[in-house]
Structure 1
């Protein structure tokens, strides 16, 4: 079995694969203060709760955008799973041609998503990953990673309002029924969620224009990440939601590097 880790700024998403089949997925909070043993015991407990034998894991691959958790995470994997993890980074085979000015600057999660989209959809794609930050990535039909845009995530936007405006409360990210709201909480929810949907549609429209100039076909717009469903229902540009895009990308990269 293959264990995959997608370590983001807010959450670590894990998946267990038996061949191409995703058996189970879990989500942990990203905590830089955790030791290797704390991560290891927590992950082993997840296996036990799901009635999966962790000793059957014979390979692990990790994508991370949080450098200061990697020491504990890597040592945890070696100690509790007895395998050397593959770390997504320079030197890893991806099948993607990165067109960034400095390819080393591209986040591992963006590369993994691009690999998955190229392999699964086999056409030009725009990938929107709704995480701590929201990333927009343009991938050509032949596997060219052109680049993209990065914006503050929904939770960052919400927290900024709470922290910087004295009379505005911390709010739950749920969609109000109207954009003309009659109380402060719903007014903030409307501004953040509907405003964010408009931002997504505008950025996608600009990316489509630029991809057309690069000779690409009309791209498929794929959304992933924890808040994808919340925003996708209010946009006109998102074609499909793939909640396991990053996990699938990790499995595909493992197959290329096994």
Structure 2
């Protein structure tokens, strides 16, 4: 089995990926832990070994470890985790043998985040044509790739939780609210909490719809919109902008890259 690790700014996601009896790629289990670059390999191992056991798996069943990270300081301890506890050298997205199997057609290719590159690889393996891939994470990213799979550029915007944190921190009298659809059908709030829900939720959807419309207008061809990240399913119920939801796009991308490098999954 493959242990795929997506180390983001907020959380590190671990997932076991294997082929089922029909040959289909399947995520057998997934876990997440808050990102902390100071967390040691031993701390990861204690936590992860217990979770593996709860799901009925053992460390010996992991034959490969693949990592995509946007937190450079977290990488070393994850590599030590792989070598010390799984007895394999971790494969790093973007480095041999997990090279990007696509052109990166931007001014500074080296600045493209590993998660965004892996998402693009996965999106094109799963869907054909020109694509906009939206990832709702710490930042919300919108990435354009053409019909050949080449990465063409994108947009980085503050994530919705980051926006809410900034609002609550800067305005002393505003309470902290949950990220959820407003309970009222109107967009004119009658109290502070409703007004905040409306502004954050519908404001964010309006931003996504507006940015996607502008990107599509520049492309000038039909474009599919692929969404991933924890909040994608929440937004899906309130907008028609998404064509497909892929909750585990980064994990799928790591597995696809391993398969292309002839590393069994």
Please tell me the TM-score bracket, short chain as reference. over 0.9
Q: Which residue in 2 is equivalent to 1:206?
A: 214
Q: Is the 8 A contact 1:196 1:231 kept in 2?
A: no
The CA deviation at 1:76 is: 1.2
Q: 1:137 aligns with which of 143, 146, 170?
A: 143
User: Pick from 242, 247, 251: which aligns with 2:246?
Assistant: 242
Q: 2-side partners of 1:105 and 1:94: how far apart?
A: 14
For the Cα contact (< 8 Å) 1:221–1:238, is it kept in 2?
Answer: yes
**For structure 1, which segment, 75-84 or 12-21, has the greater mean C-alpha deviation from structure 2 after superposition?**
12-21
Residue range with higher mean Cα deviation, 55-64 or 171-180: 171-180
- The residue that corresponds to 2:235 in the other structure is 231
- Match of residue 180 from structure 2: 174
- Residue 27 (structure 1) shift: 1.6
Cα distance in 1 for partners of 2:222, 2:32 equals 34
Assess if the C-alpha contact under 8 Å between 1:123 and 1:140 holds in 2. yes
Partner of 1:75: 80
Q: How far apart are 1:99 and its partner, in Å? A: 0.6
The 5 A counterparts of 1:45-84 are 45-84=50-89
RMSD over aligned Cα atoms: 1.3
- Shift in Å at residue 90 of structure 1? 4.5
Q: Distance in 1 between matches of 2:68 and 2:110?
A: 14
What secondary structure, in the 3-state scheme, does the structure 2 residue paired with 1:22 have?
A: strand
Query: Distance in 1 between the 2:201 and 2:168 partners?
Result: 15
Q: 1:252 aligns with which of 253, 256, 262?
A: 256
| Aligned partners of 1:134 and 1:152 also within 8 Å | yes
Report the counterpart of residue 156 of structure 2 in structure 1.
150
1:6 paired to 2:12: no
> How many residues are aligned here?
254
1:88 is matched with which residue? Answer: 93
Listed one character per residue, the Cα deviations across residues 144-197 of structure 1 (whole Å, up to 9, x for unaligned) are: 110100000010000001111111112111111232222212211110110000
Segments ≥4 residues shifted beyond 6 Å = none
5+ residue gaps in structure 2? 20-24
Q: Distance in 1 between matches of 2:102 and 2:3?
A: 23
Aligned residue for 2:56, secondary structure, equals: coil
TM normalised by structure 1 equals: 0.95
Question: 2:224 pairs with 220, 223, 226, which one?
Answer: 220
2:46 to 37, 41, 46: 41
For 1:145 and 1:103, the matched residues in 2 are separated by: 9
More displaced, 125-134 or 88-97? 88-97
SS in 2 for 1:125: strand
Q: Show structure 1 runs of 5+ residues with no match.
A: none
Number of the residue aligned with 2:121: 115
Deviations 1:82-111 (A, max 9, x none): 100101125542321111111110000000
* Matched-pair contact (CA < 8 Å) for 1:137–1:149: yes
8 A contact 1:200–1:235 mirrored in 2: no
Secondary structure (helix, strand or coil) at the match of 1:6 reads: strand
User: TM-score, normalized by length of structure 2?
Assistant: 0.92
